[in-house]
Chain A
């Protein structure tokens, strides 16, 4: 089985499972998985640039912000409809990526990473200076929902004809959930294809030895810019759509430094540069956070344990970063390469 087939199979499996569990999810978990899917899109978008070429971006949330605020503000103040705000947001993110990639190309290793860290910090300043429009750290409500009444009514009509009746809120949730499910599947499919294509091979080669790629007659800068643009496109698409799902521009979801670092974590957990690994990492990160929160809400009768659990919620982020440090020490390779290694070893043993 080729690597491409294997990755598509794993991706397909994940997508099918995510789609199949949908109807059985309690409302809270459905929301969690909805955001996990969105975050998985971010993580995959990060992975195609940073995971594959080895240029570690600390500030990918910047592209989320550019696209999200563009889409959200155009909708809020100029009443642009979704079909206009989302593409405009994405175009802005791509332009930002393009604009940034050209000077960033000349920076290597940690200097590149440091500079990417500056971008979201600068953007945060701007959002706060323009707080009268952006709502600053509190955000601003009133963005047109992704699943509008007309769409929901149409869906309801179809379902009723099939003899299924779902209450309004649930239907709304389903609509959002499966919208992002489709987005995740499409982005995953596209990126797996790209990462296993010739372009992907070159991006990987750039990570391993830039000079050797140049010596093979390949314009490294061109490929890096391409990866930048694709990455900004994917992440920007997720950002613009998330604004319409949240029906608001939220500082914390569009410009949180933590989310930016979590993209790295997701990819590291799953295996950098594997795309499918980043997808899994995305689910593990968001799912894990929710598990910690759930645990924290269990009111255990046993004194000490109950107390310990109630601490968990407040400590969730901290535990998360502590786990990241542990991971950096012991499992830098990530989940998917680990599995692939086992798989390969198994095959070798069977094959003699």
Chain B
């Protein structure tokens, strides 16, 4: 059974149709690329899945449950997490404390497990701090830094760590390579690959097809809110309609 089912999703802003009868699904363990030129409605799709905005029509099923009208936090608790293109962090909390918030369960009165182990694990998995940094985890280097001091690549790792901290079964990555240097792109794409190897299901949005070809198992191509192609990277690259869309948009 597919992990995520998107059925006939439609959303318009004013007169503009941002997403038009979009359907796709995500299989457990795969990386799905959601590709399209700028303004194709990719981020809108993420916003719809995360409950930031509600669709005009259609539904979203996660593990068979209809999550279409759920609030964001409930969707996150159900196992979907999103990495924003522009990092949304807590500027006055240290890196460690930023990640810690994700590890705290959404319970006020129920006594729950210590978030420390989970926080350190998320930091280590995303390379925010290495195991050598955290022998007893108390003087872990990543703890005392403020996010403002991190480079772009570091912020992206922080975003990833905050997302992973919620124990997602499905991870949505919004333009994970935007604004990064070449070296950082390599690092982050290694990181994504290693997450996939650990069995993490991922949906990855990007406008640049070449950058994600090696990373993804399957691609859905969006153009003006509509799905114009779907398949393996090779199939999609050979699709004349896709080539045309990209030549027109100049994005390929």
Question: What residues make up the interface of A, taking CB atoms closer than 8 Å to B?
Answer: 198-199, 201-202, 204-205, 208-209, 211-220, 222-223, 226
Q: Are A216 and B71 in contact (CB under 8 A)?
A: no
Whether the Cβ atoms of A216 and B108 lie closer than 8 Å is no
Instruction: Tell me whether B108 and A223 are in contact (CB under 8 A).
Output: yes
Which of chain B's residues have a CB closer than 8 A to the CB of A219?
A: 71, 73-74, 106
Q: Nearest Cβ distance between residue B28 and chain A, in whole angstroms?
A: 20
Q: A216-B162, A217-B166 are in contact. Are A202 and B73 (CB under 8 A)?
A: no
Q: A215-B81, A215-B84, A217-B77 are in contact. List 4 more A-B contacts (CB 8 A).
A: A208-B93, A212-B162, A215-B50, A217-B102
Contact residues in B for A214 (Cβ distance below 8 Å): 71-73, 76
* Interface residues as binary, B89-107 with A (CB distance below 8 Å gives 1, 0 otherwise): 1111100010011101010
Q: A26–B75 Cα gap in the complex (Å)?
A: 61
Chain A to chain B contacts (Cβ below 8 Å), 29 pairs? A198-B115, A199-B108, A201-B97, A201-B100, A202-B101, A202-B104, A208-B92, A208-B93, A209-B88, A212-B88, A212-B89, A212-B162, A214-B76, A215-B50, A215-B72, A215-B81, A215-B88, A216-B73, A216-B102, A216-B162, A216-B165, A216-B166, A217-B81, A217-B106, A218-B73, A218-B106, A219-B73, A222-B106, A223-B108
Contact at A215–B104, with CB atoms within 8 Å? no
Query: Does B5 count as interface, using CB distance less than 8 angstroms?
Result: no
Number of B positions contacting A (CB below 8 A): 28
Measured CA separation A14–B9 after assembly (Å): 60
> Which residues of the other chain, B, contact A202 by a CB distance below 8 angstroms?
101, 104
**Once A and B bind, how many residue pairs between them come within 8 Å at the CB atom?**
70
Check if B108 sits within 8 Å of A222, measured CB to CB: yes
Task: Flag if A208 contacts B91 (CB, 8 Å).
Answer: yes
What A residues does B73 contact at CB under 8 A?
Answer: 214, 216-220
Contacting residue for A217 out of B76, B84, B89, B93, CB 8 A: B76
* Contact pattern, B 47-88, Cβ under 8 Å of A = 1, otherwise 0: 000100000000000000000000111101100011010001
How far is B93's CA from A182's CA once the two chains are assembled, in angstroms?
A: 33
Known: A211-B88, A216-B102. A204 touches B93 (CB 8 A): yes
Provide the residues of chain B in CB contact with A226, threshold 8 Å: 108
A215 touching B82, Cβ below 8 Å: yes
| Whole-angstrom CA separation of A217 from B88 in the bound complex | 14
Contacts of A216 in B (CB 8 A): 73, 76, 101-102, 104, 162, 165-166
